[in-house]
Every structure is written in structure tokens, then in C-alpha cells.
């Protein structure tokens, strides 16, 4: 039997269990910033570190470039059911404050980035050799490099933004009112294995210098008017505070 014209021309709705888009970026470009590294070492912007500290930090930043392998991956989903403290994406329910501060977003990206395990190995080598300061600097470099890698991934994800759209703030399991246990769901939604990142039984990631999280995309007039979730958060010393 030939279908009626209106039946034949009606497309099937997309299956919300599957991502709208997925991408793996095996080589992301990042630029290290000495001011951020020094801040992690305990020097606020107004402080003047000793010249030896600055010199050692800058030398280790140059050295660390050989150990860093920034890469990332993401999957983009259309959210379905919402509450103030949950949102359904990809057939899973993410709990926490995501429903509250992603409200207005019509897509949610689930991402994982890493700078590889080379920097972590070097941190261990320096500490075993008794150079605690070099180990501390390299640790700060690795953490900031992972943060820069997340920022670099956002520039690629911005290709999915329409002219009138913008991002929400991004959030990660263990922060922003989201239990670390949500990490296991995140790893079902994003192809982290494509960049060599695995989830340990402790729910921490390997390589250690990796970042995972969620970010919303939606109309700028809606997602741009929400207060930062950092404003009411009691964790005033959180390094994620915006």
C-alpha cells in the first residue's frame, strides 16, 4: 500500500538516547600562562615572586611542553526531562544543580579532555629525586594545562552555536552541587576511551591531569541572564570559582 502523502513526508523524531554530534580532537593547541602557574604556587596577582622562582617556573613551563599531549572529545545531546536538580540526556539522569543553572539550554555537551600521562610521570620523577619544588611547579603546570585544554575544546564546540546563542558555565562531577558519582554516567555519555582516558574505581580519571564535565548551549538572552552557580556556593576557596 502506498503511504498517504502526509505520512510519507513526516520524518521520525530523533532518538534522544543518541548524541546530536560527537567529535574527537586528538591535538588541541594550548598556551601556558606563567601568572596562573605562579598563582597556584601561592603568589596572588599583586605579589612579586623571587626572581629564582620566576626563572625556575618559566624554565619548567618550556620543558613541560614536551610532556603535554592535549586532546579532547565531546558528545552533544538534546536534554529531555528537567527539574531544578536533574536533567535527562542520552537516556540517563544527571543529578545535581545542573537542572538549575542549565535552564534555558537546548543542548548539553558532555566532554572529557586530558594532557596525557607524561607530565604526571615527570612530577613523580622530580619528587623521587628530592626536587620537591620542581614537582610542585610541574603539578601546577599539569593542572592548568588540563584547564587550558578544556578551554581549547570549547572553541571547537562553539562551532555548534548559532549567532544568537552562547554557552552556560561548565560544571564537573564533584563540583557545583554534583556528586562525584555522576562521573560514571558522564563516561557512558562521552567517548573518553577515544583519547585514552579511563575511569578508575575511585571515580578519578587516568591520566590524572584530565577534566570532564557538562556545558549547556542555548539562546544568549536566556542562558546569559542566569547568575553564576558560584555565587550562592559555600565553597569560597574552590579553584573553579568564576
Ramachandran region, residue 231 (left: φ > 0; alpha: ψ -120 to 50; beta: rest): alpha
What is the separation, in whole angstroms, between the first and last Cα of the chain?
A: 61
- Give the pairing of strands 198-199 and 205-206: antiparallel
Catalogue all structural domains in the chain, each as residue range(s) with its CATH number: 16-223 (3.40.109.40)
User: In whole angstroms, what is the distance from residue 167 CA to residue 223 CA?
Assistant: 7
Which pLDDT tens digit goes with each residue over 146-199? 999 999 999 999 999 999 999 988 889 988 778 999 999 999 999 999 999 999
Q: What size, in residues, is the chain? A: 242
DSSP for the chain, please give it: -PPPHHHHT-PPPP-TTS-SEEEEES-------HHHHHHHTT--TT----HHHHHHHHHHHHHHTTT---EEEEEEE----EETTEEEETTEEEESTHHHHSTT-SEEEEEEEE--SHHHHHHHHHHHTT-HHHHHHHHHHHHHHHHHHHHHHHHHHGGG--TTEEE---B-TTSTT--GGGHHHHHHHS-GGGGT-EE-TTS-EESSSEEEEEEEEEEHHHHTTSPPTTTT-S-TT-TT--
Grid cell listed for 192? 573518553
Phi, psi (rounded to 5 degrees) for 93 = -105, 120
pLDDT band at 68 (very low <50, low <70, confident <90, very high): very high
User: In whole angstroms, what is the distance from residue 225 CA to residue 105 CA?
Assistant: 12
Which pLDDT tens digit goes with each residue over 99-140? 777 878 999 999 999 999 999 999 999 999 999 999 999 999
Percentage of residues of the chain with pLDDT beyond 90? 68
| C-alpha torsion angle, residues 80, 216, 176, 222 (rounded to 10) | -90
Amino acid at each position: 500500500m502506498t503511504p498517504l502523502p502526509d505520512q510519507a513526508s513526516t520524518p521520525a523524531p530523533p532518538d534522544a538516547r543518541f548524541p546530536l554530534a560527537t567529535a574527537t580532537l586528538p591535538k588541541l593547541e594550548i598556551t601556558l600562562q606563567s601568572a596562573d602557574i605562579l598563582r597556584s604556587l601561592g603568589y596572588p596577582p599583586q605579589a612579586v615572586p623571587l626572581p629564582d622562582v620566576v626563572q625556575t617556573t618559566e624554565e619548567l613551563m618550556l620543558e613541560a611542553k614536551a610532556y603535554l599531549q592535549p586532546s579532547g572529545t565531546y558528545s552533544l545531546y538534546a536534554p529531555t526531562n528537567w527539574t531544578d536538580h536533574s536533567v535527562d540526556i542520552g537516556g540517563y539522569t544527571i543529578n545535581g544543580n545542573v537542572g538549575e543553572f542549565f535552564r534555558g539550554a537546548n543542548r548539553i555537551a558532555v566532554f572529557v579532555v586530558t594532557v596525557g600521562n607524561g607530565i604526571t610521570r615527570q612530577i613523580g620523577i622530580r619528587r623521587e629525586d628530592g626536587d620537591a619544588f620542581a614537582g610542585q611547579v610541574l603539578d601546577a603546570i599539569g593542572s592548568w594545562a588540563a584547564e587550558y585544554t578544556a578551554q581549547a575544546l570549547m572553541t571547537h564546540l562553539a562551532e555548534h552555536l548559532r549567532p544568537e546563542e552562547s554557552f552556560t558555565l561548565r560544571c564537573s562531577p564533584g563540583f557545583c552541587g554534583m556528586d562525584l558519582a555522576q562521573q560514571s554516567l558522564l563516561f557512558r555519555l562521552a567517548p573518553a576511551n577515544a583519547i585514552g582516558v579511563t575511569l578508575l574505581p575511585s571515580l578519578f580519571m587516568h591520566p590524572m591531569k584530565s577534566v570532564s564535565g557538562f556545558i549547556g548551549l542555548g539562546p544568549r538572552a536566556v542562558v546569559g541572564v542566569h547568575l553564576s552557580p558560584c555565587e550562592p556556593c559555600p565553597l569560597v576557596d574552590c579553584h573553579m570559582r568564576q
